[in-house]
């Protein structure tokens, strides 16, 4: 009897852990292509700081907030820090493409031509 209860308890723990593990994965890593227009004003060039708010030598940062539009037409606002030793800010008014999840930018963003943006997304970006 104790073995059966232990097995049922173990199965329940694995099921709950699996559910929350899958939920975390979907929110953090499941990505979708998204498009945005670079704001017309270039962000202020700042020294890069680490998690402890200490200056990172030989690194600069441009902080952006993008209003991404996914191919299904949904909007998602995300913060993105462009940082490195020799980074250039994005061209104001340029179109960018990135792969994003619910929580983060997983790939990109990279500047693209307007013709590479799907027509339905162009309409949403123009508004």
Which CATH number do you get for residue 69? Answer: 2.40.50.480
- The predicted pLDDT at position 52 comes to 93
38, 80: one domain: yes
Query: Do both 56 and 8 map to the same domain?
Result: no
Give the pLDDT score at 126: 75
Q: Looking at residue 127, what is its pLDDT? A: 66
Together in a domain, 13 and 68? no
The per-residue pLDDT for range 32-75, each reduced to its tens digit, is: 999 999 999 999 999 999 889 999 999 999 999 999 999 998 99
Q: Domain containing 7: what range? A: 1-30
Q: What does the pLDDT read at residue 123? A: 87
Residue 89: its pLDDT value, please? 94
pTM of the entire predicted model: 0.82
More confident: 3 or 31:
31
112 & 71 share domain: yes
Q: How far apart are CA 86 and CA 99, in angstroms?
A: 23
Shared-domain flag, residues 62 and 79: yes
111/87 same-domain check: yes
66 within 8 A of 76, measured Cβ to Cβ: no
Query: Is 48 in the same domain as 106?
Result: yes
Q: What is the 3-state secondary structure (H, E, C) of 30-53?
A: CCEEEEEECCCCCCCCEEEECCCC
pLDDT band at 83 (very low <50, low <70, confident <90, very high): very high
| 15-40 residue pLDDT tens | 898 899 999 988 888 899 999 999 99
């Amino acid at each position: 009897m104790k073995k059966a209860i232990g097995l049922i308890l173990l199965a329940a723990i694995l099921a709950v852990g699996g559910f929350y593990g899958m939920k975390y994965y979907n929110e953090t890593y499941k990505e979708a292509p998204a498009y945005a227009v670079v704001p017309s004003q270039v962000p202020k060039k700042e020294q890069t700081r680490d998690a402890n708010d200490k200056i990172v030598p030989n690194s600069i940062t441009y902080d952006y907030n993008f209003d991404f539009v996914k191919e299904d037409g949904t909007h998602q606002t995300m913060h993105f820090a462009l940082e490195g030793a020799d980074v250039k800010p994005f061209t104001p008014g340029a179109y960018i493409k990135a792969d994003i999840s619910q929580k983060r930018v997983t790939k990109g963003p990279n500047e693209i031509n307007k013709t590479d943006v799907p027509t339905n997304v162009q309409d949403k970006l123009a508004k």
